[in-house]
Amino acid sequence: MRIAVTGSTGLIGSALTRSLRAEGHEVLRLVRRPAEASDEVRWDPKEGRVEVAELVGCEAVVHLAGASVGAHRWTDSYKRELRDSRVLGTRTLAGALASLDTPPRTLIVGTAVGYYGDTGDQAVTESAGPGTGFLAELCQDWEAAAKPAQDAGIRTVFGRTGLVVARGGGAWGPLFPLFKAGLGGRLGNGRQYWSHIALHDHLAALRFLLGEESLSGPVNLTAPQPATNREVTAAMGRVLHRPTLFAVPAPVLRIALGEFAQDVLGSQRVLPRRLLDAGFRFAFPTVTDAIRSAV
């Protein structure tokens, strides 16, 4: 299969590219700089430009590009960057694919469980409505931006992703050296749920979605057993054989992280109902399993 991938230099995109090529697929990488290799295609998501001719023959596209949510303090300018990198990028890509005489059969847009907002202790599936707050509103606009592809008859899947457990990057990556140094601990009261997924399972789920043509619309990419921050802290300590005595009070997090602290302290208990119903099986269903897979 010929598959195009955006965000191919990121944690998930680079791993997915390697995984797909190992399975014998041809992968094209959309890059924002001038193309330098035969497997690269130039695009400019903010300017709305894609070298559409290079995408002819692609059977699927996996769209993973977007500015890092946790990389910077959420100033007004960075919130615009978060929004533009996702909404404009998705709109540009969806429009380009829709313009092809023979568009790809499948578009997978990697969105986020932030769509649901703070769910507290309530478990939610894909049937739940959107929450409130910056990330929830961003996710709604992000998914709506794919409408040109949907209108063109492209099977469009929104992979609503939780926290990816991996050492190499993402939101979880910085936790490993912290806990290895014995400085890890719960955040706030620790009762907030963290919907997570092992990198291995995330890649397997994306490959599953590429081939499972019965699925479209939202699909939660989260492990079937969400864990609280307190449980995550204990599991990190057990796996890494380190004490977890430190705790960061909520007021300190709010000072350090600003508006982003609301999402760190918020609770999202998200279940992957549609994946499970379609027959997908997780290799690392618990947070302890996921952490062990990463180390």
**3-state DSSP call for residue 114?**
helix
Domain locations along the chain: 2-166+195-224+268-281
Strand partners, 110: 159
Tell me the per-residue pLDDT of 191-232, one tens digit each, with 9 for 90 and over.
999 999 999 999 999 999 999 999 999 999 999 999 999 999
DSSP class of residue 252 equals H
pTM score? 0.94
For residue 246, the model assigns a pLDDT of: 84
| Domain 2-166+195-224+268-281 sits in CATH 3.40.50.720 | yes
3-state helix, strand, coil in the chain (%, to 5): 40, 20, 40
- Taking the C-alpha atoms of residue 269 and residue 193, their distance in angstroms, rounded to an integer, is 5
Residues 6+ apart with CB under 8 A from 21: 27
For residue 261, the model assigns a pLDDT of: 63
pLDDT beneath 50: ranges in the chain:
none
- For strand 49-50 and strand 40-44, is the pairing parallel, antiparallel, or unpaired? antiparallel
| φ/ψ bin of 69: left (φ > 0), alpha (ψ from -120 to 50), beta (otherwise) | alpha
DSSP class of residue 268 equals -
User: Is the Cβ–Cβ distance between 140 and 113 less than 8 Å?
Assistant: no
Give the C-alpha distances (Å, rounded to integers) separating 54 from 42, 89, 107, 201: 9, 17, 16, 30
Residues 6+ apart with CB under 8 A from 195: 113, 162, 163, 220, 222, 223, 226, 268, 269, 270
DSSP class of residue 266 equals S
